[in-house]
Amino acid sequence: MQDEEFRRWSEKAAAWGAQYRETLRERPVRAKTMPGDIAGRIADAPPESGEAMDSIFRDFEDFIVPGMTHWQHPRFFAYFPANAAPASVVAEYLVTAMAAQCMLWQTSPAATELETRMVDWLRQALGLPEGFSGVIQDSASSATLAAVLVMREKALQWQGNSKGLSANPAVRIYSSDQVHTSIDRAIWVSGVGSDNLVRIPATGARRAMDVAALEAAIERDKAAGLLPAGVIACVGGTSVGACDDIGAVIAVAHRHGLYVHVDAAWAGSAMICPEFRDLWAGIEAADSIVFNPHKWLGAQFDCSVQFVRAPEDLVRTLAIQPEYLKTHGRDGIVNYSEWSVPLGRRFRALKLWFLLRHHGLEELRTMIRNHVAWSRILCERLRQEPGFEIVSEPVLSLFSFRHTPPEGADADDHNQRLVNGINDDGRIYLTQTRVDGQLAIRFQAGQFDMREEDLETAFSVITELAGKPHPMNRE
């Protein structure tokens, strides 16, 4: 592709992106294709000769876009958001055009130094003390894996990477039963093993880890000759927003010399609003924290920030320094590839810089406050509707509900059919979860361009479709 053609198609792609965002409200939130529809339109083998960009772009519009779920849709109320504010998207255009591999300071000094500054901007925005530094990871999954590896190495006196786990007592890590499945994966990948992830019961309205049970489990494992290493606490759990008592968990863990990692992947963004910080009271004593600006803050995926109190422990766990990765003649520099599991690193800090400068913290606070207020309004309206039950009370902008089935019908089956019917309708998108063993429907407000009128649409769709029969034709 020559320079002029590259310019033309870059302009066309940018124009398409702007038009796409303008027309999102006219599209169904979720793809209406069936399994295999898209694959059936893609050639079975790669082409031997190149094709014209016009043809490729036409196919993109004709059968790729209709098969996409529109995560930037203002009525995307499923999962948690993966927001991409336009300012962040513009920054990603620039990052993609430069295509830098930002693994070391010397491979792009601006990327490293901007990352350092952006992490500190976010530290200040969240009200965290100066003792924290940090790194931009690709996702909370990677940040949690890095934290688990540090827990493991510290517990094994820094011998795990060299000698493995087999010669040592079993390393034990503790969490509630409300944490995200990324914790399970981190336990698998780290070699600790799922049998050594000790699930502590969650109790109370906030479904918080039972700290007395946590201490008892640690003491029991010590007495059995096992090796307690760390605790993973959560703020805003994925299912219904569970929040551990962070200060109490840290007090127990640190009393036993354990490392504490706090997963605030979704809820962490809300901590730019001081009035919500009671959800993680005591956070200043955590050893590491992860939150995802790519969820609720507006940064294009992927962009996850891991704050750490002792970066030297992270570097000691992850750094490998062959000669070809050394930067000679520059003392005191940071190479963020030594803070991450992957060696390769994208220039993720640029979209944060664009985003924070363009919107400012107060505009972002207003967005989050609106989402919280609108979600609570919907919760109260559904509570007043005959046949609806609020299963979990709002945590920030997330709550769950259930609809009463016709007499003799199975409640789980009825509510799953309702979710399927709502999503097939296309005007909004919801997901389901299980609360105390029973199926419930999740609602969370968090899409960057959501307006109050979208809340009205959600209420209308949910109440309208609740009384209609729906076949079990999805998921």
Chunked mean pLDDT (size 10), the chain, 475 residues: 88 93 91 87 89 91 90 92 92 88 82 93 96 92 92 90 81 88 84 89 90 96 95 92 95 96 95 97 96 94 94 87 50 81 88 95 97 96 95 96 90 94 93 93 95 94 83 50
CB-based contact 266:236 (threshold 8 Å): yes
d(CA 350, CA 300): 10
Say what the pLDDT of residue 319 is. Answer: 83
245 backbone dihedrals φ, ψ, rounded to 5°? -80, 95
**Nearest alpha-carbon partner for 301 in 107, 142, 129, 466:** 142
The residues that bridge with 149 in the sheet, in sequence order, are none
Token couple for 362: 């107060």
- Do residues 437 and 84 make contact, with C-beta atoms less than 8 angstroms apart? no
In eight-state DSSP terms, residue 278 is: G
Query: Are 388 and 382 within 8 A, CB to CB?
Result: yes
Q: What's the half-sphere exposure (Cβ side, CA atoms, 13 Å) at 130?
A: 0
pLDDT of residue 344: 85
- Cα separation values, 395 from 209, 292, 375, 399, 452, Å: 16, 17, 9, 6, 19
Task: End-to-end CA distance of the chain: give it in Å, rounded.
Answer: 42
Q: Is 237 within 8 Å of 207 (Cβ atoms)? A: yes
Q: Is 115 helix (H, G, I), strand (E, B) or coil?
A: helix
**What is the domain partition of the chain in residue ranges?**
101-346
Residue with tokens 């050893």: 287
| pLDDT given at position 323 | 44
Q: Rounded to an integer, what distance in angstroms lies between the CA atom of residue 393 and that of residue 169?
A: 42
Using alpha carbons, select from 76, 62, 63 the residue that is nearest to residue 24: 76
Q: Give yes or no for a contact between 112 and 103, defined as CB atoms under 8 angstroms apart.
A: no
Place of tokens 């060696």: 343
User: How far is residue 329 from each of residues 106, 332, 338, measured CA to CA in Å?
Assistant: 11, 10, 18
Q: Residue 322: its pLDDT value, please?
A: 53
Alpha carbon distance 400, 382 (integer Å): 10
Place of tokens 């003392």: 331
For the domain with range 101-346, which CATH number is right: 3.40.50.880, 3.10.20.600, 3.40.640.10, 1.10.150.120? 3.40.640.10
